[in-house]
């Protein structure tokens, strides 16, 4: 994970909505950007790299 930012606290009972966007895709390695929201508030964001398959 890169460029991780925690913007606001999340407490038990909060419903978190995740949005993930593919930035680069290869045959097995993907780079993605993700954001986490509670309601309309951005609470966290990060870039991540994953190996698929």
pLDDT digits (tens, 9 = 90+) for 14-51: 999 999 999 999 989 999 999 999 999 999 999 999 99
Please report the pLDDT score of residue 53 as a whole number. 82
Sign (positive/negative) of CA torsion 26, 37, 13, 4? positive
Asked if pLDDT for residue 7 goes beyond 90, the answer is yes
What's the helix, strand, coil split of the chain in %, to 5? 0, 70, 30
Please report the pLDDT score of residue 52 as a whole number. 87
DSSP three-state, residue 32: strand
Q: Domains (ranges, CATH) in the chain?
A: 2-51 (3.10.129.10)
Give the C-alpha separation, 11 to 28, whole Å. 35
pTM: 0.84
Regarding predicted confidence, which is higher, 1 or 53? 1
Asked if pLDDT for residue 10 goes beyond 90, the answer is yes
């Amino acid at each position: 994970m890169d460029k991780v930012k925690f913007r606001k606290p999340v407490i038990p009972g909060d419903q978190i909505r995740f949005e993930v966007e593919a930035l680069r895709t290869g045959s097995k390695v993907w780079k993605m950007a993700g954001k986490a929201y509670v309601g309309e508030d951005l609470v966290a964001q990060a870039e991540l790299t994953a190996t698929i398959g």
